[in-house]
Structure formats: structure tokens, C-alpha cells
Amino acid sequence: MTSEAPLIEVSDLTVSYPVRRGVLSRAVERLKAVDGVTFSVRRGETLGLVGESGCGKSTLGRAVLRLVEPDRGSIRFDGRELVGLAAGAMRALRRRMQLIFQDPYGSLDPRMTVAEIVGEPLAVHGLGRRSERNRRVEALLAQMGIERDALRRYPHEFSGGQRQRIGIARALAVRPDFVVADEPLSALDVSIQAQIVNLLADLQRGLGLTFLFIAHDLRVIEHVSTEVAVMYLGRIVERAPTATLFSRPHHPYTQALLASAPATDPRHRRVRAPLGGEPPSALDPPPGCPFHPRCPQAFDRCRLERPALASVGAQHLSACFLAPPGTA
Ligand code: ADP
Ligand code: MG
């Protein structure tokens, strides 16, 4: 499986939003939410995307599905370029790429029954006759652990965890190859989170799904990801296979994130300074390394020059001037 070509290949992707500084300002500036991001995900694997709130994770996830238009860059899905693809061709591909939302409360239409919610994407893409669609919806909900009598009920009659299962059933109804899961657990109780993680892991194995899994909880990322990308202020600052990232984090930002998260594996427990302060505004990124104002290890060069994402080990990239371990 690992030798296969990537299902999704993103290169130099940049996305900005028009914003006004202050309510009275007429001048429109561009806020770069995603700035020159490059990564790929192989079939059946999961790239975990982690970083503090506002660093651009959702924008990146949506841009990869072309739900937000990028300023520049390339998105190849199964070998086809999505940037600039005509609407018709994009619609046909859209079935194969789905989004699981963060908020199982806001993302399900309260006026639709569960059967209608899960069946809608099948109807939209014209997949199967009504009776076949109904059978597929029933089978999917059974797979998600939702009882049969739920079909004619409405979203408000369910708990948060059940609603997220309904949202997942809806995303998977059209048998996608690629799924962007945007913080699918953060609105759920901790006790429910593990159930949903296990459900997603089972589905991935069973269906061979490829995931871009966005989370700010590193324990979840460690559990579900093949590879991890750490984002800071619109850029990927470290990327590595999951075991490498958790045992040998290179970037001081990754180290600080790990120090702030409770370790699940005692071998990974480490004593480091937790993350202090707030990320700077994407409208006013600091010169040099964007992390330098918060970095306990910053030195002169970091204030002047921005480090490029470069190799610090096998399949391990980091955007930091500090020497890789063992080479200093
Ligand atoms: P995350 O998902 O990591 O929290 P987002 O992608 O939601 O980050 O946001 C990245 C940056 O883009 C933030 O500075 C946010 O305020 C800004 N942003 C997000 N959506 C919009 C929008 N529609 N218009 C203007 N700015 C936006
Ligand atoms: Mg987000």
C-alpha cells in the first residue's frame, strides 16, 4: 500500500481572504490563511493536520476540496489537477471527496429526517433508484450503530455522538475515496470521542479510505495518523511519520504543542516549556521565522530569515534553523 502513488498531492497551495482592518477602513487587504503548503497523502493513509486555532487548518481542508478557491498552487487528485477544473468535471469528482464537519449540531438540516439527510447526497449525485438508496441508507446507519427506527426521526432527537455518526454516514453514503475530517471530535464529550475515533479507524480499514484528519488534540492525531503535518500561521512547519514526530519532534513549536498535551504513551512524556502567548496575526506576520517571538530557542538568524521546510531525517521535514539531533 505504501508504494502506491499518492491519491492527493498538494503543492504550493496559497489561499487568502479579503479583509478590512477596522470597521471604518475602506482599504481591503488580503489575509493569507494558507501560505505555500505542500503535502501528499497516499491511498488508505491518514495525514493528521494539527495546529492552534486560526492557523489555517479548515481553510486548507476546504481548499483541497475546492470549497474555497486558492490564489495559487496545485491540487492533484488521483492524478488530475483540480485547480482550474471546469464546474462539470469538478462536480463529477466531488462525489469522491467528502467533508466531515466539526459541528454535528449545525451541519445537519433540522427540518430533514435522518433518512433524507443521509440519502440526499445519493440523490444529488443521481446514484441508484429510490428503493436502492433507501436500502443503502439503512445499511450505512446500521454500520454506524444507529437503530433502524431512527430513519424517520429528526437531528434534534439525537445526542451529539449520534449526530456525528449521522454526519459520517452522510459523508460516506456516496462511497468517497478521500475524506477531510475537520475536527470531527471537538464538539463531543471525551467519552464519545474514543467511540468515533474507533468507528473512523474501522471504516478506514474496511473501505480503504484516505483521510486528511484535522485536530488540535495531539492524542487523537497520534492515534489516527500515518503521517503528521504541524501548521503555524498558514504554513507547515514540521512533517514526519507519526512515530517520528511524537518521539523526535524537531521544531520548537511541535515540542511546545507536545509539552502542552497530556502524553498517552509514557515513553513520549518529556519535560519542556509549554506554549506561551498567542499566535501573531496572519495580517502582520513577524519577520524571519514566524514562530520566533514565542520560541524559547530563537537566536539572531531566526529574527531575520525565514527557515524553509527542509529535511532533518528520514521522511522528516522541519522549518527551523536548529541543527537536527546528532549533527550538532
Ligand atoms: P483553523 O481552522 O486552523 O482554526 P481557519 O482556516 O479557520 O483556521 O482560519 C485561518 C485564518 O483565516 C484565521 O486568521 C481566520 O481568522 C481567517 N479566516 C477564516 N475564514 C475567513 C473568512 N471567511 N474571511 C476572512 N478571514 C477568514
Ligand atoms: Mg478550523
216 CA closest ligand 1 atom index: 3
Q: Would you call 116 exposed, middle or buried from its count of C-beta atoms within 10 A (0-12, 13-18, 19+)? A: middle
State phi, psi for 91 to the nearest 5 degrees. Answer: -60, -40
Sheet with 227-232, edge to edge strand ranges: 97-100, 178-182, 210-214, 46-50, 227-232, 235-241, 316-318, 310-313
- Ion ligand 2 neighbours (CB, 5 A) are 57-58
In terms of phi and psi (left: phi > 0; alpha: psi -120 to 50; beta: otherwise), the region of 277 is left
For ligand 1, atom 21: residue with the closest CA:
17
For residue 60, the ligand 1 atom closest to its alpha carbon is 6
For residue 128, the one-letter residue type is G
Task: For residue range 65-123, list pLDDT tens digits in order.
Answer: 999 999 999 999 999 999 999 999 998 899 999 999 887 777 889 999 999 999 999 99
Residues 60, 49 contacting (CB under 8 angstroms):
yes
The ligand that comes nearest to the alpha carbon of residue 50 is 1
H or E element in which residue 39 lies: strand 28-42
Q: Are 118 and 166 in contact (CB under 8 A)?
A: yes
What are 128-166's pLDDT values in tens digits? 888 898 899 999 899 888 888 888 999 999 988 899 899
Give the ligand with the smallest distance to the CA of 102. 2
Whole-angstrom distance, CA of residue 199 vs CA of residue 188: 14
Q: E strands, 150-198, where? A: 178-182
Instruction: Return the domain boundaries, the chain.
Output: 6-20+27-263+271-318
| Cα angle for residues 322, 54, 23 (degrees, 5° grid) | 125
pLDDT at residue 260 tops 90:
no
Residue 243 CB partners (closer than 8 Å, separation 6+):
none
* CA of 279, nearest ligand number: 1
Q: Is-contact 45 210, C-beta < 8 A?
A: yes
Fold of 6-20+27-263+271-318: Rossmann fold (3.40.50)
Band of residue 259 on the pLDDT scale cut at 50, 70, 90: confident
Q: Give the pLDDT confidence score for residue 319 in this predicted structure.
A: 98
Distance CA 155, CA 274 (A): 40
Phi, psi of 29 (to 5 degrees): -110, 170
* Spatial distance between the Cα atoms of 306 and 309, rounded to a whole number of angstroms: 10
DSSP code, position 272: -
**Shortest CA distance to 58 belongs to which of 199, 295, 67, 113?**
67
Instruction: State the Cα–Cα distance between residues 304 and 280, nearest whole angstrom.
Output: 16
Q: Ligand 1, residue 281: give the atom nearest the CA.
A: 14
What is the Å distance from ligand 2's center to 157 Cα? 26
Which numbered ligand comes closest to the C-alpha of 62?
1
Q: 263 with 239: CB under 8 angstroms? A: no
Kindly report the number of other CB atoms within 10 A of residue 286's CB atom.
16
User: Which protein residues touch ligand 1 with a CB less than 6 Å away?
Assistant: 17, 19, 31, 33, 51, 53-59, 282
126 alpha carbon to ligand 2 midpoint, in Å? 31
User: pTM above the 0.95 mark?
Assistant: no
Please choose, from the candidates 288, 262, 263, 259, the residue with its C-alpha nearest in 3D space to the C-alpha of residue 276: 259
CA of 107 to the centre of ligand 1 (A): 18
Nearest-CA residue for atom 16 of ligand 1: 54
Select the more confidently predicted residue: 235 or 198.
235
What is the distance in A from the centroid of ligand 1 to the CA of 180? 17
Cell numbers for 245: 514526530
pLDDT value at residue 2: 47
